[in-house]
Structure 1
Amino acid sequence: MNIKNILGGALCLALFASCGDELDYREFSNYNKDYVFKNFDNTVGFVTNIYSYLDYDYGMIDGGMQASACDEAEYAWKSSQVNYFTNGSLSSKNTPSLFGYYAPIREANYFLAHYPECDFSDYKFNKDYKNQMVRFNRLPYEVRFLRAYYYALLVKYYGAVPFTTEVLTEAQANALGRTPAQDVMTFVVKECDEILNHLPASYAGLTDDAAAGETGRVTKLAVLALKARTLLYAASPLFGAETAERYHQAALAAKAVIDSCAAYGVSLGKYAELWGTDNWKAKEVIMARRIGDLNDLERRNYPMGVENGNSGNCPTQTLVDAYEMRATGKLWNEAGSGYDPEKPYEGRDPRFAMTIAVNGEKNWPSYNAAALETYYGGSNGEPKVGATPTGYYLKKLLDGTVNISSVNGNSKRHSWVAYRLGEFYLNYAEAMFKYSRSADAVTPDLPMSAREAVNVIRSRADVNMPALPTGLSADDFWKKYQNERMVELAFEGHRYNDIRRWREGASHKDIVEMKITKKADGTLAYTRHTVSRIWDDKLYFWPISNSEMMKHTGSGFTQNPGY
């Protein structure tokens, strides 16, 4: 799919219906405008299809997560496209493309252009007519959110992008130039402000709405979350000059998320609840993208040596080093940390064991009774083809109860968390620090300091890490903040983009692997191995593929610099 998907014309729809407590998928068929906009179910199905493009990263780049395109992870299979981002091969000829997001944008524009023509008068004597009309009258606001959401995604990866809110002909679409990123983000924020009060905080308590009880649809909290994240990106140096007022607005928007979550019963729960079959029910989840029952994520990332396990996105020692010692709150190489090089994984931040599988670990996955052997020559280690190059395997996001063996195989529900409260405490901390230039400062409209916001995250029930102290210098706090963000949001699709929006690509390009060997006496030796990766400032944005470049006649449609 490409930008021509914003064209008008016949509709090819993957129709979805609202059913039970979630969005229910149906087969796709061709329908004309009259069919879609004269039937409640088909109209709702058209909108729900726009939801079906919501992003998630279970291996979006040829099996590789974005984590493997930065210092969080290393993809075990060198042939994957994700390695283009670290080995210098990324180009307009060798690049994944996200221009498929113009398909839902085109459908959103089409819906918003035609929904006023909807005529449901034939149904006015149905007993559910009133409730269906309440739902119908809310759909345009859901669609406006989704359109803004997809534009925000495109800007995040490409910077300036083609932009329209109209249904265009093919010639008009191909003549579009690229609208500056700040202008697109301004549009996103404006849309959020305009639709906010037209959407419920939850569908659970609705009584006069055909969507009562549904989950997965856009809420008031999701709108606030999109606005807050967009403003933080807009304030970042990747998208122009940093200003105090941009960070001020980003901090206020993050505060609005935090305050609204408190008002509507969304609160921090246990870290371990953020993935697994029922993660969409976790206390802090604002919006989750339902994916369905699957085991592909586990097949791609369970350890090599476990039946049908294929290794995949392997956490780096760089990430491991970010997990502080629980007793002291210090990094492994800080004086007085309590780190024991003979027992390198003991006494760490509890989030470490929830995220990363290490040598000697048992019951990963849960049905695997054998201890993992990630040392050289071990059953899960090199030189076995595809074994972890870093010494570690991924646990976070994976469901350890998913069995991929040939005899007892199963699949479990997976849901990608698009927005959760924990992110917005961190977003607030960053924006507040950048605005005030202090870890401890507060203002009348921002009464929580950056340090206090970080400490809320560190004090969650199953983490309980030592609080950051008062009086940290600006440099020390920024390092602590970046480290906390890397740990808390690991493998959730943030680190890759954070490094880029901070314009710190060169500082974080290399990774460290842990090479483990077994000595003659049976003890283990741990050796750090630094891998130098290639960085070029062009990598701050993705290249537009040659196939897309060739389609566009507009003089303003230019390639990103360096490609």
Structure 2
Amino acid sequence: MKSIKIYICAALMVLGVSSCDSFLTTPPLDQISEDQWWGDKNQTEMMVKGAYQYVYGPNEVVLRDCISDNATHREAKYKEIGNGTYTTQSAAVKDEWKYASIAKLNYILEGIEKARNLISEEEYLRFNAEVRFIRAFVYYNMVFFFGDVPLITKTLSVAEARETSRQPRQEVLDFVLKELEEGVLPNIDKVSVTESGRVSKQVVNAFLSRVYLYEKNYEKVLYYTNEVIKSGKYELHPNYEELFRPQADASNKEVIFEHQYSSPLVVHELNRNLSPASSIYAGWSHVLGLQELVDDYECVNGHPVSECESLGCEYFQKRKDAEAETHRGEYDFRDPRLAATIMWPYWEWKVGGNVLSRYGVDDPDSKDYVKKETHMTGFLVTKWVDLQGEYADRTRGQKNMTILRYGDVLLMRAEALIELSQDLGEAVALINQIRQRAGMPDIAMASQSVLREKLRHERRIETAFEGLRYFDIIRWHIADKVKSGKVYGARLKAISDAMDNKFVEERFWNDKMYLFPIPQEAIDNNPNLVQNKDW
């Protein structure tokens, strides 16, 4: 049966997929025949569950913010997309060309057909719907990034793969929506599941809300968000910070869909990759926040922190009074989501009220000192990190990665209402639910244009480092404003006696970047794939 492996690998190469090694690991077709493999019910279900590896993981959830105006990355892969220096050969561009995943999902769907006589009709419909959801999920992401893409719904021979070309974006989008609404929704609950890591009816409704929001079909957003809300299954977790710590995973009613982890078998490395060298994890500080994001976290009184002095806000002076050699008062009395998301100079790593370490980016005696760790911006990410772990957990992260959550559903509904200029009172109430949970004052009723900016602010703060910011700035068509020019990190004594902000880089934007280029490797392997305009 080795010929099956060779056959599929050759087809993937024509599609511009450089390696099929991961595909060859399951099923082991050189050791067991295909008919035998799909002749076992347990192995069929295992393949269906294995398909979940193709939804978002840490790279898509956390690291994707490094290609937005929220952050940069220590390494070039994401950094170059963030600063606009990427090309058709960039690794992060290739990563979004998901035809290895599509090939595997098509193969699983065909396998389910072969196993149909071994499983009940209800199981068949559910298994089929699960994998079709994941395939639609992958296709929508490719449509968003690339526009027109090949639409492939079966395993291909080499000859067939060489005949593939890009289908119009609308055709692929129509396929995605039809799959979700007609193929998945009616069948996904034929066999009910309770795990938040498996697709359910409300997962589909929430994802359809997101797709329709990105496509600006706001009436559909209202319909599908209402389906999620009226189900009564979800609520805001009472503590924003706990929402992103592993200790809350078992009791979290806010999460609708997540990529699940369990140490020691299924783990990620975010504890190490996000943390500083001085931490318990001897971290690598990969994701580097930018001052522009930090500036967006309001004063705890609910206005921009830059306006505190002119407004006579009591916290302007309190921040100045709190300033000390190892304490930066400018981060005090801010939206509590700042401390739950970002580490700043001398940020304290606390467990049970005890300070275990401080982020010493501005401390010459620290492992984190910016003149030793020159890539540092002065801001790191604490969201998703297990603060209660020990050194061995640095590469055994088990915090589940949230893909869809109820808080985002509320914000999606609020955005749709604002864009339709409909029931603005409800939109304000939805935004205020999010702010109240964070411990922030309510916003007041205002015009559509003012509420639009309030909503966009709230999305940035509430969902920072959840992989959504890049999608937002692209769909709002504001990338030319927020992804160009000089960007900075924190104010540091190491930079100057006056504590100037550290210069990080200059970013460049061209409107061709509203779409990624087709990876050059894909075009080299299949000349039918025409490059996006101006790339």
State the TM bucket, normalised to the shorter chain. 0.7 to 0.9
The one-letter amino acid paired with 2:427 is A
CA distance in 2, matches of 1:492, 1:508: 18
Q: Quote the Cα distance in structure 2 between the aligned partners of 1:119 and 1:138.
A: 12
SS in 2 for 1:344: helix
Q: Distance in 2 between matches of 1:453 and 1:483?
A: 14
- 1: CA distance between counterparts of 2:46 and 2:494? 58
Write the deviation string for residues 69-126 of structure 1: whole angstroms up to 9, x where unpaired.
2221122x3x5221211344211123421366323322333343453443656xxxxx
Name the counterpart of 2:257: 287
Q: CA deviation at 1:137?
A: 3.9
1:301-312 to 2 correspondence within 5 Å? 301-306=274-279, 308-312=282-286
Distance 2:413 2:14 in 1: 35
Post-superposition Cα deviations, 1:1-39, rounded to whole Å, max 9, x if no partner, equal 8972899x9x956559xxxxxxxxxx9975433123211
Instruction: State yes or no: 1:457 paired with 2:441.
Output: no
Which residue of structure 1 aligns with residue 488 of structure 2? 512
Deviates more, 1:537-546 or 1:360-369: 360-369
Q: Of residues 381, 395, 401 in structure 1, which corresponds to 2:382?
A: 395
**Aligned partners of 2:158, 2:348: CA distance in 1, in Å?**
57
Query: 1:214 deviation in Å?
Result: 5.0
SS in 1 for 2:518: coil
- After superposition, the Cα gap between the structure-2 partners of 1:316 and 1:28, relative to the gap in structure 1 and judged at 3 Å, is farther
| 3-state SS, counterpart of residue 358 of structure 2 | coil
CA distance in 2, matches of 1:516, 1:59: 31
Q: Secondary structure at the match of 2:218?
A: helix
Report if the CA contact (8 A) 1:6-1:167 is conserved.
no
Structure 1 residue 538, shift from structure 2 partner: 2.1
* Range that drifts further, 535-544 or 102-111: 102-111
Q: Map of 1:9-408 to 2, 5 A cutoff?
A: 14-15=25-26, 31-58=32-59, 65-75=63-73, 77=74, 79-96=75-92, 97-98=94-95, 101-118=98-115, 120=117, 134-194=122-182, 195-200=184-189, 203=192, 214=195, 216-235=197-216, 246-260=217-231, 262=232, 264-281=233-250, 282-293=252-263, 294=267, 296-306=269-279, 308-326=282-300, 328-334=301-307, 335-336=310-311, 337=313, 338-340=315-317, 342=320, 343-363=329-349, 369-375=356-362, 377=364, 379=366, 380-386=368-374, 388-389=376-377, 391-404=378-391
Structure 1 residue 251 displacement after superposition = 2.8
Structure 2 distance, partners of 1:2, 1:538, is 32
Query: In the alignment, is the contact (CA less than 8 A) between 1:277 and 1:399 conserved in 2?
Result: yes
Q: Give 3-state SS (helix, strand or coil) of 1:417's partner.
A: strand
Moved over 6 A (4+): 365-368
**AA in 2 matched with 1:218:** V
- Tell me the alpha carbon deviations over residues 390-429 of structure 1, each in whole angstroms, 9 at most, x when there is no partner: x222100111123337xx9773413211111111111111
Distance 2:156 2:165 in 1: 14
Contact in 1 for aligned 2:112/2:127 (Cα 8 Å): no
Equivalent residue runs for 1:541-560 within 5 Å: 541-554=515-528, 557-560=529-532
Contact 1:216/1:287 (8 A) holds in 2: yes
**Alignment CA distance shift 1:425-1:14 (3 Å):** farther
Residue 361 of structure 1 aligns with an amino acid whose one-letter code is W
Return the letter of the residue paired with 1:353. Answer: A
Greater Cα shift, 538-547 or 275-284: 275-284
CA distance 1:214–1:433, change in 2 (3 Å): closer
**Take 2:247 and 2:373, find their aligned partners in 1: how far apart are those partners?**
34
8 Å contact from structure 2 (residues 269, 394) kept in 1:
no
Shift of 1:267: 4.6
Q: C-alpha separation between the residues in 2 aligned to 1:330 and 1:201?
A: 49
Q: How far apart, in 2, do the equivalents of 1:59 and 1:119 lie?
A: 33
| Matched length | 498
AA in 1 matched with 2:493: T
Structure 1 residues without counterparts, runs of 5 or longer: 17-26, 122-128, 205-212, 236-245
Matching of residue 466 in structure 1 with residue 441 in structure 2: yes
- What is the root-mean-square deviation of aligned Cα atoms in Å? 3.3
Query: 1:22 aligns to what?
Result: none
Kept after mapping to 2: 8 A contact 1:15/1:29: no
The structural deviation recorded for 1:375 is: 2.0
Kindly indicate whether the alpha-carbon contact (under 8 Å) linking 1:69 and 1:86 is maintained by their aligned counterparts in 2: yes
Letter in 1 for 2:72: E
CA distance in 2, matches of 1:101, 1:199: 24
**Counterpart residue identity of residue 531, structure 2:** Q
Alignment match, 2:453 = 479
Whole-Å separation in 1 of the counterparts to 2:31 and 2:451: 56
Q: Is the 8 A contact 1:192 1:226 kept in 2?
A: no
The residue identity in structure 1 corresponding to 2:418 is F
The residue aligned with 2:6 is none
Residue 173 of structure 1 aligns to which amino acid in structure 2? Answer: A
Please tell me the residue identity of whatever aligns with 1:345.
Y
**In the alignment, is the contact (CA less than 8 A) between 2:271 and 2:397 conserved in 1?**
no
Worse-superposed segment, 105-114 or 161-170: 105-114
Instruction: Report if the CA contact (8 A) 1:301-1:311 is conserved.
Output: yes
Task: Give the Cα–Cα distance (whole angstroms) in 1 for the partners of residues 472 and 419 of structure 2.
Answer: 15
Residue in structure 1 matched with residue 4 of structure 2 by the alignment: none
Contact 2:23 2:100 in 1 (8 A): no
Query: 487, 500, 508: which one pairs with 1:527?
Result: 500
In structure 1, the partner of 2:324 is none
Aligned residues of 1:361 and 1:372 also touching (Cα < 8 A): yes
Q: CA deviation at 1:222?
A: 0.9
| Residue from 414, 420, 424 that aligns with 1:435 | 420
Q: Structure 1 pair 172/375, CA: closer, same or farther in 2 (3 Å)?
A: same
Q: Which has the higher contact order (CA 8 A, sep 6+)?
A: 2
Q: Give me the whole-angstrom Cα distance separating, in 2, the residues matched to 1:35 and 1:257.
A: 41
- In the aligned structure 1, how far is the partner of 2:157 from the partner of 2:525? 14
SS at match of 1:254: helix
Paired letter, 1:98: D
In structure 2, C-alpha distance between the alignment counterparts of 1:532 and 1:308, rounded to whole Å: 30
SS of structure 2 residue aligned to 1:532: strand
Structure 2 residue 530 is matched with structure 1 residue 561 = no
2:126–2:191 Cα contact (<8 Å) kept: no
Could you tell which deviates more after superposition, 272-281 or 143-152? 272-281
8 A Cα contact 1:269 1:284, kept in partner: no
Residue 102 and residue 30 in structure 1: after superposition, are their counterparts in 2 closer, same or farther (change >3 A)?
A: farther
Distance in 1, Cα, partners of 2:198 & 2:355: 37
Q: How far apart in 1 are the matches of 2:71 and 2:51?
A: 31
Question: Residue by residue, what CA displacement relative to the aligned partner does 1:197-254 show, whole Å, maximum 9, x if unpaired?
Answer: 32239945xxxxxxxx65522111111112111111112xxxxxxxxxx222223222
TM-score (norm 1): 0.80
Which residue of 2 is the match for residue 24 of structure 1? none
Q: Take 1:484 and 1:165, find their aligned partners in 2: how far apart are those partners?
A: 38
Q: Report the structure, 1 or 2, having the larger helix content.
A: 2
Structure 2, unaligned runs of 5 or more: 1-8, 321-328
Please, what TM-score do these two structures have when normalized by structure 2?
Answer: 0.83
SS at match of 1:93: coil
